[in-house]
Chain A
Amino acid sequence: MPCTDADFAYLRSIVYEHSANALDSSRDYLFESRLQQFLHSTGLRTLENLVEALRKWPDPAVKRYIAEAMTINETSFFRDRAPFEVLRFDLLPPLIRRRSSLRRLRFWSGACSTGQEVYSLAMLLLEFFPELCDWQLEILGTDISREVIARARAGRYMRMEVNRGLPARFLIKYFRRVGDEWEVIPELRRMCRFHQRNLGNGPMLLERYDGVLLRNVMSYFSSEARQRLLLNIHRLLARDGFLILGSDEQPDPLGVFQSVVTRGTRYNIPLQYP
């Protein structure tokens, strides 16, 4: 018997419970493709069997796996380009001037997927700001999916992946061939670290960041979860830091960020209160 609407609603509730990710029913078809390997390796074979098993034995590890498998992982290097131009020309130069005695920069890429955004930021810093060569540069990438975090840590990409958004001169400068794949060079890797973390309901980070990138993920959260997340980001952003969301995304009207529109995109600066 195929999955009923109630079965899919149950699966969506599992995803929401473990990630605060509110999937629309139009994405129900993804359960089949994203969980195919899991169904095969466990012998369950069908979604219906999985739902039946979970209703009888609600295994938290299996539920977490389902939540992770259903996260969206579409990314490229220098995705959308405009945010990286804003970083290069508008945000980083004054930030670097202000940090000239501290000589440290810290960035966080939330929902970093397989790491392309993190490595793109690292390449931007190395390529266009050579004066930072002896600074402490830290870029943290987090994602709910352990699988993509493992891939991001490996820093190894296939041809189709390095084709996407990566200038050829950056490919030959910042990567080395390993078999038929391309791996980031150690100089890049040293600046970047990756951790599995749930934006929706996991423990928040403790460090302060000069810049946060959280692009094209807010729309997957409920309004309440978005507001909670934005307040947390406001708390961990440096007072003179910045937040970059997707170009079509705006912070909810909490009044804790001010949007600046430039170069066809926008960034957000934290408002301060006495």
Chain B
Amino acid sequence: MDDSRFIRGYLSLLLTRCGISCTVAENGQAGLECLRCLGPYDVALIDWNMPFMSGLEMIQAIRRDSAYDHLKILMVTVESDIAHIETALLAGADEYLLKPFDEFGLVTKLELIGLSP
């Protein structure tokens, strides 16, 4: 989930290259709809700054619902201060990927949360 078309495309490309199929959404609300209707998913990659529903709010919504207890969450964001990272991890993100990132960084983050691309 990212409101940037470029990031959605870039992530899709990298994930596909890793053998991971993906669905994209341009904001949190659309993302939650995908989760409800098109799941189950193994991991949600979520941007922080999105319209209508921020990434943090989305994480909180997901973690409130026990139906998604299995779902790993990787925050992918330009927000890099410690407070943001701490907040995301406390809210239930499993890992945190800083923008800009490359394929190496994405793959190692996915490995850290138990996915082997």
- 18 other A-B residue contacts (CB within 8 Å) besides A160-B101, A160-B105, A163-B104: A76-B104, A159-B80, A159-B98, A159-B99, A159-B101, A160-B98, A160-B100, A160-B102, A163-B101, A163-B102, A164-B104, A168-B85, A168-B89, A168-B96, A171-B85, A177-B81, A177-B82, A180-B80
Q: How many A-B residue pairs have CB under 8 A?
A: 47
Given contact pairs A81-B111, A177-B80, A162 touches B86 in the complex (Cβ within 8 A)? no
Size bracket of the A interface: 10 to 19
Interface residues of A (CB under 8 A from B): 76, 81, 159-160, 162-165, 167-169, 171-172, 177, 180
Instruction: Decide if A167 touches B95 in the complex (CB within 8 Å).
Output: yes
Number of B positions contacting A (CB below 8 A): 22
Instruction: Decide if B111 touches A172 in the complex (CB within 8 Å).
Output: no
The residues of A that contact B82 with a CB separation of less than 8 Å are: 172, 177
In the bound assembly, the distance between CA atoms of A162 and B98 in angstroms comes to 8
Please give the distance in Å from B47's CB to the nearest CB on chain A: 15
The residues of A that contact B109 with a CB separation of less than 8 Å are: 163
The residue in chain B whose Cβ has the minimal distance to the Cβ of A167 is B112
Q: Does B16 contact A (CB under 8 A)?
A: no
The residue in chain A whose Cβ has the minimal distance to the Cβ of B88 is A168
The residue in chain B whose Cβ has the minimal distance to the Cβ of A168 is B96
Instruction: Decide if B81 touches A164 in the complex (CB within 8 Å).
Output: no
Instruction: Decide if A168 touches B80 in the complex (CB within 8 Å).
Output: no
The residue in chain B whose Cβ has the minimal distance to the Cβ of A74 is B104
The residues of A that contact B95 with a CB separation of less than 8 Å are: 167-168
Please give the distance in Å from A156's CB to the nearest CB on chain B: 14
The residues of B that contact A76 with a CB separation of less than 8 Å are: 104, 108
